[in-house]
């Protein structure tokens, strides 16, 4: 997969040189190119922003540097082995929520171009213009406001890169991921433990030392229900109740959850502490 990032803060993307993404690059599984948007300016001050039409606070990124940058980068790909048409990813707080499902979709693309902005964002005509010729995805990593799109790019690239064939070792598979489509309903992962067996007077749940794989699997699922009901009740509420077996229903009942009029599960008793 080829990834291009266009930014006024190329140094913000340095983390792409380390860990999982850095190793995937070193192995040749990822071709990452970070570009300084100011290379496509022509004035003495390398201006990338201007005042907003209609007034209001802040500044808006000018369309010309983005147009020249995207044209040059897209042109550079037409001779390579990559698909000639990249998917363009625009991080923005007003975008569609970036989910595991979208990460899977993006991981299937041969070429992604990320356009992290600063200030109040990019002149709308850039998104319209490229949207007419390419697959443009405006995506948000969550309901909070950041100062720019660079951190969202790091988040999205890591979520995508770990899904590429051979990037994550065989030891760590994707199918147990919370939010993996088709994972155990839509449940959060429960707690995990490792050596030593006692630390600061705290032991390990006996069942994990029992060697009884069936009991361990049941305990893990119960803990997943504990965490999910406490932290993400919306995930339980939206689950088709057919996904819950008899023991799931027993655990949900202990946690104060039961089926409502429509059969879907909701809280029916006061909250239970984790």
Q: Which residues are catalytic?
A: 93, 120, 162, 177
Interaction of residue 58 with ligand JF8, rule CB under 6 A: no
Query: According to the binding rule CB under 6 A, does residue 52 interact with ligand JF8?
Result: no
Q: Which of 93, 110, 190, 259 binds ligand JF8 (CB under 6 A)?
A: 93
Tell me how far apart the alpha carbons of residues 49 and 69 are, in angstroms, rounded to a whole number: 15
Q: With respect to ligand JF8, which residue has the nearer C-beta, 90 or 163? A: 90
Answer yes or no whether residue 91 interacts with ligand JF8 by CB under 6 A.
yes
Residue 118 binds ligand JF8 (CB under 6 A): yes
CA-CA distances (angstroms) from residue 140 to 12, 128, 136? 18, 18, 13
Residues 211-240 that bind ligand JF8 (CB under 6 A): none
121 binds ligand JF8 (CB under 6 A): yes
Residue 69 CB: number of other CB atoms within 10 A? Answer: 23
Contacts 24+ apart (CB under 8 A), 50-53: 52/120
CB atoms within 10 A of CB 185: 19
Told to check if 86 binds ligand JF8 by CB under 6 A, we report no
Site membership for ligand JF8, residue 65 (CB under 6 A) = no
- Please state the closest distance from residue 117 (CB atom) to ligand JF8, in A: 4
Whole-angstrom distance, CA of residue 162 vs CA of residue 169: 9
User: Is residue 141 at the binding interface for ligand JF8, with CB under 6 A as the rule?
Assistant: yes
- The answer to whether residues 131 and 74 touch, using CB atoms and an 8 Å cutoff, is no
Among 140, 178, 239, 253, binds ligand JF8 (CB under 6 A): 140
Least CB distance to ligand JF8 at residue 68 (A): 20
Give CA–CA dist 53/219, Å, rounded: 59
Q: What is the DSSP letter of 264?
A: -
Is residue 159 at the binding interface for ligand JF8, with CB under 6 A as the rule? Answer: no
Q: Of 92, 115, 228, 229, which one interacts with ligand JF8 (CB under 6 A)?
A: 92
Q: What is the dihedral of CA 234, 240, 242, 246, to 10 degrees?
A: 10
Asked whether position 137 contacts ligand JF8 by CB under 6 A, the answer is no
Indicate whether 126 belongs to the interface with ligand JF8 (CB under 6 A): no
Angle between helices 213-231 and 246-254 (to 10 degrees): 50
Question: Do 246 and 253 touch, CB atoms closer than 8 A?
Answer: no
Comparing CB distances to ligand JF8, the nearer of 43 and 143 is: 143
Q: Is 117 helix (H, G, I), strand (E, B) or coil?
A: coil
Query: Site size for ligand JF8, by CB under 6 A?
Result: 17
Residues that bind ligand JF8 (CB under 6 A): 91-93, 95, 117-118, 121, 140-142, 144-149, 152
């Amino acid at each position: 997969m080829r990834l291009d990032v266009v930014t006024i803060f190329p140094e913000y993307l340095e983390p792409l040189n380390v860990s999982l993404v850095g190793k995937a690059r070193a192995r040749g599984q990822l071709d990452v190119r970070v570009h300084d948007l100011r290379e496509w300016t022509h004035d003495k001050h390398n201006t990338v922003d201007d005042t907003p039409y209609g007034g209001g606070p802040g500044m808006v990124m000018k369309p010309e540097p983005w147009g020249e940058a995207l044209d040059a980068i897209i042109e550079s790909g037409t001779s390579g082995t990559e698909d000639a048409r990249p998917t363009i990813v625009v991080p923005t707080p007003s975008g569609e929520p970036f989910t595991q499902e979208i990460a899977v979709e993006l991981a299937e693309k041969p070429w992604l171009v990320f356009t992290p902005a600063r200030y109040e964002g990019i002149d709308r005509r850039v998104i319209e213009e490229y949207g007419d010729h390419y697959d443009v995805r405006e995506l948000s990593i969550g309901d909070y406001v950041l100062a720019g799109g660079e951190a969202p790019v790091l988040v999205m690239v890591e979520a995508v890169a770990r899904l590429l064939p051979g990037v994550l070792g065989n030891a760590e598979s994707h199918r147990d991921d919370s939010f993996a489509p088709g994972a155990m309903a839509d449940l959060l992962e429960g707690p995990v433990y490792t050596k030593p067996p006692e630390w600061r007077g705290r032991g390990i749940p006996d069942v994990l030392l029992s060697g009884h794989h069936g009991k361990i699997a049941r305990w893990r699922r119960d803990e997943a229900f504990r965490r999910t009901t406490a932290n993400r009740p919306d995930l339980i509420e939206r689950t088709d109740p057919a996904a819950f077996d008899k023991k799931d229903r027993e655990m949900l009942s202990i946690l104060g959850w039961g089926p409502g009029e429509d059969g879907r599960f909701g809280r029916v008793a006061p909250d239970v502490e984790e």
